[in-house]
Amino acid sequence: MRKILSVAALLMLALTLVGTASAGKVGFLKTWVYDNDPGTGSASATWTKEGLSLQKNAPTSAELAAGAAIKGVQGESLDQLSFEVKGYCGAGAPRFNVWTDTGSLLYFGCTHGAKTDLGDGWTRVVFNGGEAGGGAFGATIASIDLVQDEQGQTLLRNISVNGVEINKFPNT
């Protein structure tokens, strides 16, 4: 019985360490909501069985946004961005906000990417660098966020940065 408990304890410790180690690696999103305009509406960033749901239920002018931070991309060269979208796809949202190591902010808004209709309401959006409002690829990444700050609801899946598919961040 003691051996079984010892093995179980070691297994739990190993799983905890794996979860902690993976939290800083490329390929994970941590959801967030920003609300600097209380009482104007609501925003949410949640995972569903279909993907990442981002919603802003307030006028676009309200200082309110939902999003997700992509973890573990710092120091990499920006070479590729893409997602599949169902729902709202505007000029400024959903979008990738990419901060570079020089302090520049690059925007990659949904309508500016190359689109492929996948059927069932889903559209693949690929950014190649140089899109309107975006910027050139090749910059060194400081951080990346996905942002929904225009009024509307969207679902995102198959999100990728530099060819690495992004998954749900543990415990979000």
Omega of the bond leading into 170 within 30 degrees of 0 (cis): no
Confidence tier at 112 by pLDDT (50, 70, 90): very high
Domain containing residue 143: CATH number: 2.60.120
Asked whether residue 4 is assigned to any structural domain, the reply reads no
Evaluate whether residue 16 is within a structural domain: no
Please indicate, yes or no, if residue 18 is contained in any of the structural domains.
Answer: no
Residue 7 in domain: no
In a domain, 61, yes or no: yes
pLDDT (tens digit per residue) in 85-110: 999 999 899 999 999 999 999 999 99
Q: What is residue 165's predicted lDDT score, i.e. its pLDDT?
A: 86
Specify if 128 maps to a domain.
Answer: yes
* 56, β-bridge pairs: 43, 152
Report the pLDDT value the prediction gives residue 27, as an integer from 0 to 100.
67
Distance CA 150, CA 134 (A): 17
Residue of 18, 51, 46 whose CA lies nearest to 160: 51
pTM score over 0.95: no
Domain that holds residue 109: 26-168
pLDDT tens for each residue of 45-88: 999 999 999 999 999 999 999 999 998 888 999 999 999 999 99
For residue 121, being part of any structural domain is answered with: yes
The residues near 32 (Cβ < 8 Å, ≥ 6 apart) are 45, 66, 67, 68, 69
